[in-house]
Amino acid sequence: MSSGMSRRSFAKVAAGASLGVVAGGCSRTEPPASQTQANQPGSRLSPAREFPTGFYWGTATSAYQIEGAWNEDGKGESIWDRFAHTPGKIKNNDTGDVANDHYHRYKDDVALMKGFGANAYRFSISWPRIFPEGTGTPNTRGLDFYSRLVDELLKAGIAPFPTLYHWDLPQALQDKGGWQSRDTAKAFGDYAGYVAERLSDRVRHFFTINEFRSFVDMGHHGKEVLVPGGTMTIALAPGLRLTAAELNRVRHHAVLAHGMAVQAIRAKGKAGTNVGPAEVMECSVPLIEAPEHIQAAQTATREANAPFLTVMLEGKYTDAYLKNAGADAPKFTDEDLNIIGSPLDFVGINVYRPISYVLASDQGGGWHEIPFAKAHPTMANSWLTVSPEVMYWAPKLVQSLWGAKEIHITENGCASDDVVTPEGKVYDTDRIMFLRACLTQLQRATAEGVPVKGYFHWSTMDNFEWINGFGDRFGLVRVDFKTQERSPKMSASLFRECAALNGVA
């Protein structure tokens, strides 16, 4: 489809070779033994529900959302510390100061993950823990925390998949212009190289940046999101309202930072370190699965991702993006594009919902966007339209548009209005329905040869959900934020079954 497709060189990973065998160490992060047994004849799982051998069954979190210890052991302030400490920004004025206290309880949390059968874990590294000022002298106590966490994970047979940026920019860099400054991209590359140099003896996969579109657009302008019956606006830290030209510049700096990080990780990490982004892909889903509508969805998806995934995977902005932006388009050089389009080992995509359904059209770019019907079902969050088929189409289109050889679903999940029974149980039937429906569609993709190698459920446990504070509960594990008590919900049992059977249970 895209002209840049053939020049992307995704590292080829032989089946089973991506199991995260630790270089030079004795820890291995292979699927649980039960996973392979379940694939034997006589297994109660129909082969039509199985995932490929070696599939990663993981859950995901991010530093600010769970760690707490916001000013401990030399950590610097982040833009989320500043934002949450500003009254009125977060529901109930909640903050991540303590959050899940994971910084002190990480061993228990790793044990929980092991308990529900995960063989992979996606967490994020807090940049201001490592570089309190964003650049300059590193804080070794910050790095030590992640080193201990990685060791604990490997001991539990869980492969670590850290993300280097999940929105908590050092405030010191924000004070110098934040993502509006090109220097921030350079600083991110340096930080990424530093971490890779120190952790890649044990960590085989790094994600650069989480959800470019969310932190850029929602943080620097506020973003309108289509919901059944209308739209809603979401604003995140640092809470700016930039002009279109300024916003495009920030977008450019974000993908440039990603490219610089990819190059730094290649330069400083051990040979064989894998790297890719974790982007919230804007996926258009064909309303009807007929060739012309599938083609329309593919074209629409490529354009919708023009400033982020498309430029990272093609090494160029689409003509339509530049034309629409006109005088507001970002200024860039060929060298910038080379950096942004640095070859990747995998593509990580966060998949919750489609941006829209589409049908083919003779008008415009070749597609017609169909709004969600007013009564289209949603999960507890009004933005989360129930459209599990996006879990098939998102990786499928990443493969067909860009020829990706390895794809990870880096987030998928839903908040639920969890009710605790007198016995202390949470029967989250809605999350179970959502998870099973999404996995069914994902399995449909892998069965067709779409190279999805891992699934990371958002989230491991209830946590600080950005502007919704502790109000939205996305976890497989319930957290009582007064006592920090953790209790697995029924959905954790479904996850464990799926991981053990390596299929949709």
Active site residues: 211, 411
Residues in CB range of 374: below 8 A, 6 or more apart: 228, 229
Does position 314 interact with ligand BGP (CB under 6 A)? The reply is no
Q: Smallest distance, Å, CB 82 to ligand BGP? A: 18
| From 31-39, 327-335, 354-362, 458-466, span contacting ligand BGP (CB under 6 A) | 458-466
Pairwise CA distance, residues 120 & 452, whole Å? 14
Answer yes or no: are the C-beta atoms of 1 and 398 closer than 8 Å.
Answer: no
Q: Total residues at the site for ligand BGP (CB under 6 A)?
A: 15
Residue with Cβ nearer ligand BGP (65 or 342): 65
Does position 301 interact with ligand BGP (CB under 6 A)? The reply is no
Provide the 10 A C-beta neighbour count for residue 120: 27
Beta bridge pairs of residue 163: 124, 207
Pairwise CA distance, residues 377 & 381, whole Å? 11
Residue with Cβ nearer ligand BGP (321 or 458): 458
- Look at the block and give the residue holding tokens 């995140």: 236
What separation in angstroms does the CA of 182 have from each of 172, 254, 368, 415?
A: 15, 9, 36, 36
Q: Smallest distance, Å, CB 124 to ligand BGP? A: 9
Residue with Cβ nearer ligand BGP (125 or 329): 125
- Kindly tell me which residue out of 57, 455, 458, 470 binds ligand BGP, with binding defined by CB under 6 A: 458
Does position 411 interact with ligand BGP (CB under 6 A)? The reply is yes
Pairwise CA distance, residues 141 & 205, whole Å? 22
Residue with Cβ nearer ligand BGP (254 or 500): 254
Answer yes or no: are the C-beta atoms of 310 and 378 closer than 8 Å.
Answer: no
Answer yes or no: are the C-beta atoms of 457 and 498 closer than 8 Å.
Answer: no
Strands (E) across 173-305 are located at 205-210, 223-227, 230-234, 274-280, 284-286
The contact pattern for ligand BGP, residues 84-123, with x = CB under 6 A and - = no contact, is ----------------------------------------
Nearest residue to ligand BGP by CB is 465
Q: Please, which of residues 201-220 interact with ligand BGP by CB under 6 A? A: 210-211, 214
Does position 465 interact with ligand BGP (CB under 6 A)? The reply is yes
Answer yes or no: are the C-beta atoms of 401 and 2 closer than 8 Å.
Answer: yes
Residue with Cβ nearer ligand BGP (90 or 296): 90
Beta bridge pairs of residue 227: 230
Does position 381 interact with ligand BGP (CB under 6 A)? The reply is yes
| From 8-16, 329-337, 440-448, 468-476, span contacting ligand BGP (CB under 6 A) | 468-476
The contact pattern for ligand BGP, residues 28-67, with x = CB under 6 A and - = no contact, is ----------------------------------x--x--
Pairwise CA distance, residues 285 & 387, whole Å? 9
